[in-house]
Amino acid sequence: RKVGAYAIAAGVFGGLLGWAATRSGVENLEGVVIWSALFSAMLRYATPLIFASIGGMFSERSGVVNIGLEGMMILGTWFGAWGAINYGAWVGLLTGLLGGALGGLLHGVATVHFGVDHIISGVAINILAPGVTRFLSSEVFADYPGGSITQSPRVPGVGSFTFPVVAGGEVGGWSSPDVLGWLGRKDWFFASDVANLGRGLVTQVSYVTIIALALVPISTWVLWRTRFGLRLRICGERPEAGESQGVDVYRYKYIGVIISGAFAGLAGAFIASPELSGIYLEGQTTGRGYIGLAALIFGNWIPVGVLGGALLFG
């Protein structure tokens, strides 16, 4: 708890420094652009961390530590790019999800079925995934125009959404007012800064980011308000109690790990999309799986806390 409090304090202090620097050096429209871009980028970079950390939460709630989030994310980047290039952006997200789920299934077979140490299995997946994707690139992307053994051609995106009225989005071809932008340009103390912050969170928001944010309340409801969630948590906290009630503990552990891998794969597919890079590139996850695991621990293994950690790191 002390570490979490220190981290939050450091984030607030850094934000205050940035606010002071921004207030002292820019005027009106420039301040709107800087603040809106800053918080828009925060939300964009936090999106894969939200997916990865929520996925890790499902795995750990089932009693399986998933150190392999990074490797599953790497699989998601390759399969997501391949699916998007060949079948469209939304199919790319689905294939990225399935690629990560395969990594989760492998982790489940090793840890649940064969009893391999969770850390060893996760590290092995993190080592295996880059080699697998490099081999697949040599067999597939190397034959595509603009592709090579280390990268893919350009990847299409699913698009973004700007909220009408509050940020100037369009409604049926009609350009709505930009209330937050207007307030931000007034340069009123604090009120304009809050408006600029809010505008960054509702301007050109990727549809995938909206899905990631929706996962927070959905995951809360699933884990703490459904029979499935109760059984999943029992398998992680008191598996002997679950067995005494007829719960198939092994099956629920598999489900938890596969969900974890699927969300990590979805995070990887987002990284390869135009919202972040627009191309599959070897090594592009840059440790985001480990950061997602850190956000999970920071958030105390609950969805709202995980969201806060992901946004802070983003």
> Does 253 have pLDDT greater than 90?
yes
For residue 66, give the nearest of 75, 76, 77, 55 by alpha carbon: 55
pLDDT of residue 101: 98
pLDDT in tens, 91-118: 999 999 999 999 999 999 999 999 999 9
pLDDT of residue 27: 45
Residue 286 near residue 265, CB atoms below 8 Å? no
pLDDT in tens, 171-228: 777 778 888 877 877 777 778 778 877 887 888 889 999 999 999 999 999 999 999 9
> Does 130 have pLDDT greater than 90?
yes
pLDDT band at 298 (very low <50, low <70, confident <90, very high): very high
Percentage, residues of the chain above pLDDT 70: 89
Apex 88 CA angle, 83 and 94, nearest 5: 50
DSSP string, 30-85: HHHHHHHHHHHHHHHHHHHHHHHHHHHHHHHHTT---TTHHHHHHHHHHHHHHHHH
